[in-house]
Chain A
Amino acid sequence: MALDMIVGSGVDGAPAEIETDALIIGAGPVGLFAVFELGLVDIKAHVIDILDKPGGQCAELYPEKPIYDIPAHPTITGQALTDRLLEQARPFEPTFHFGQRVESLKKVDGGFEVETDLGTRFRAKVVVVAAGGGSFTPKRPPLAGIEGFEGASVFYAVRKIDAFRDKAVLIVGGGDSALDWTLNLQPIAKSVTLIHRRDEFRAAPDSVNKLRELLSDGSVRFIQGQLTKLNGDSGALRSVTIRGPVGGLDLEYEVEAERLLPFFGLTMKLGPIANWGLNLNENQIAVDTARFETSEPGIFAIGDINTYPGKLKLILSGFHEAALMAQAAQKIVYPGKRSVFQYTTSSSSLQRKLGVI
């Protein structure tokens, strides 16, 4: 993907409100195709995604796995599908905002005001929720009472590095996040202990080499084992209980820990969408099948996130939904404009938009 299509996550300084015709929540295959369909009817879009890359589940869960039910592609991988959808959307110059989750959405005069967890603010005439299975969020290990420590001692990402300064930090996991933070927090923490179920790491070779150096000079401690219990009171973690091999025996023992960073991958959660006042049906957004509009006029929902009689969670269904949504969105963005249905094969107006003539 070309860098000119990416806007970095986060905004420097005091962010101004970004005005856009359409705001698409979710950069999965259906969100990307929505850019194309909206573009054909002259609607410009900004796209927000919690991941740091486009493609949604296709890119996060199965980039290398073939998909066999995309029309005209007897087989295509999740990543190849993403790349082609980006290429198809390119003439319409979407602006992407990665690594951000939409927190709030409220109705204002002439559209909607939307804000992300990084404080990026948008004013959009229409909102298209293409959020698939919800936002990818870090998995919470099933340890008793862990909720009580979250935000005080247990964190799933490092937002403020000072929260770790001069603390006994325990990091769990064997991938890039676990190793990156082990390397980055080691200089400022009182101590850093990495715990992982095996003495093998999935991280980038360079990070693994750097970790091995820190282990050999004793500046980081490695424990092979798994967490079984958190110990502490009122949000303040004191130690964790670990089970693992010690001298050929499988033992349980305590290790001092004031801060815990567990990295167990991502799972999909509906998240703040549940609080936007939309009609939900078992965590899916109810829509009509002519416009794919939610209970709130001007907010559409397409792809796996929506539900209607006969709904099938297929990428191809999401594509169809995007096309009909765009026709309905056009009536909101350009009220009163007479729309003529056109084909890309023959319409010179559409071909100019696509940059092919």
Chain B
Amino acid sequence: MIKVTFIEHNGTVHTVDGEPGQTLMETAVKHAVPGIVAECGGACSCATCHVYVDDTWKEKTGAPSEMEEDMLDFAFDVRASSRLSCQIRLKPELDGLVVRIPEFQN
């Protein structure tokens, strides 16, 4: 099991168990974490599973692909820490990962 923590814009913390190979978005949806809409179901086509990755984790989650960068153009309040959670696949090194959910999923 890989523990992941989602922090909502209002500060509510959700720490849930993910599985290796699952995406961060799938983990959020499975545990009904509010604020991850994932309208397209994980096809990197909608930008409604936008999260901010805490600085300490950026190296381990890696950088967004070109396709993901393009799709982030459709998100709101994009920052240097922005990622689409459907594009982060869980692996043992990500145990303890902390991400923040933006106020709005555009």
Q: Which residues of A contact B (CB under 8 A)?
A: 57, 60-62, 65, 139, 141-142, 173-175, 196-198, 200, 202, 226, 264-265, 267-268
Known: A141-B76, A264-B73, A265-B46. 9 other contacts (CB 8 A): A61-B45, A61-B46, A141-B106, A142-B76, A142-B104, A142-B106, A265-B47, A267-B46, A268-B39
A264's nearest neighbour on chain B, judged by CB, is B74
- Provide a sorted-by-A list of 25 A–B residue pairs whose CB atoms are within 8 angstroms: A60-B45, A61-B43, A61-B45, A62-B40, A62-B43, A62-B45, A139-B74, A139-B106, A141-B76, A141-B106, A142-B103, A173-B73, A175-B73, A196-B73, A197-B72, A200-B69, A202-B70, A202-B73, A226-B76, A226-B77, A226-B78, A264-B74, A265-B46, A265-B74, A267-B39
Smallest CB gap from A174: residue in B: B73
Interface size class of B (residues with CB under 8 A): 10 to 19
Q: Which residues of B contact A173 (CB under 8 A)?
A: 73
**Cα separation A22 to B58 with both chains bound (whole Å):** 54
Chain B proximity of A315: nearest CB distance (Å)? 13
Q: How far is the CA of A60 from the CA of B70 in the complex (A)?
A: 15
Within 8 Å CB of A57, what residues of B? Answer: 40
Chain A residues whose CB sits within 8 angstroms of the CB of B72 once the complex forms: 197
> Once bound together, how far apart are the Cα atoms of A301 and B41, in whole Å?
23
Chain A residues in 8 Å Cβ range of B78: 197, 226
Give complex CA distance A198, B66 in Å.
13
The answer to whether A65 touches B43, judged by C-beta atoms less than 8 angstroms apart, is yes
Contacts of A265 in B (CB 8 A): 46-47, 74
Chain B positions 67-83 with a Cβ under 8 Å from a chain A Cβ: 69-70, 72-74, 76-78
CB distance from A101 to the nearest CB of B (A): 19
A226 to B74, CA, bound (A): 11
With a 10 A CB-CB cut-off, give which of B48, B69, B73 has the most chain A CB atoms: B73
Q: Smallest distance from the beta carbon of B29 to chain A beta carbons, Å?
A: 15
The A-contacting residues of B in range 1-54, CB under 8 angstroms, are 39-40, 43, 45-48
A156 to chain B, nearest CB (A): 13
* Min C-beta distance of A47 to chain B, whole Å: 23
With a cutoff of 8 Å between Cβ atoms, the chain A residues found around residue B77 in the complex are 226
Closest 7 CB pairs of A and B: A142-B104, A265-B74, A61-B45, A62-B43, A61-B40, A202-B70, A264-B74
User: Considering the chains assembled together, what is the distance between the CA atoms of A139 and B104 in angstroms?
Assistant: 12
Q: Check B45–A264 contact: CB distance below 8 A.
A: no
Chain B residue with Cβ nearest A197: B78
The interface residues of chain A lying within 8 Å CB-to-CB of B43 are: 61-62, 65
CB B80 to nearest CB in A, in angstroms, measures 10
A270 to chain B, nearest CB (A): 13
Which residues on the A side are within 8 Å of B106 (C-beta)?
Answer: 139, 141-142, 264
Within the complex, what minimum Cβ distance (angstroms) separates A295 from chain B? Answer: 28
Cα separation A222 to B103 with both chains bound (whole Å): 27
A142 surroundings in chain B (CB, below 8 A): 76, 103-104, 106
User: Which A residues are in CB contact (< 8 Å) with B76?
Assistant: 141-142, 226, 264
Q: Which residues of A contact B103 (CB under 8 A)?
A: 142
Alpha-carbon distance between A139 and B37 when the two chains are bound, in angstroms:
14
Q: Chain B: which residue is nearest A140 at the CB level? A: B106
A142 to B47, CA, bound (A): 14
- Residues of chain B lying within 8 A (CB to CB) of residue A268: 39
| Beta-carbon nearest neighbor of B39 in chain A | A267
CA distance A61 to B46 in the complex (A): 8
Residues of B within 8 A of A197 (CB): 72-73, 78
Cα of A200 to Cα of B74 in the assembled complex, Å: 14
How far does the alpha carbon of A8 sit from the alpha carbon of B78 in the complex, in Å? 37
Q: Give CA–CA (A61, B40) in the complex, Å.
A: 7
Q: Determine how close the nearest CB of chain A comes to the CB of B64; give it in whole angstroms.
A: 12
Inter-chain CA distance A83–B4, complex, in Å, is 41
A265–B70 Cα distance when bound, in Å, is: 11
Residues of A within 8 A of B73 (CB): 173-175, 196-198, 202, 264
Complex Cα distance, B85 from A43, in Å, reads: 45
Q: Which of A60, A196, A265, A268 neighbours the largest number of chain B CB atoms within 10 Å of its CB?
A: A265
Contact with A along B95-106 (1 / 0, CB 8 A): 000000001101
* B residues near A65, Cβ cutoff 8 Å: 43
Least Cβ distance of A56 to chain B in Å?
12
Chain B residue numbers with a CB within 8 Å of A61 are 40, 43, 45-46
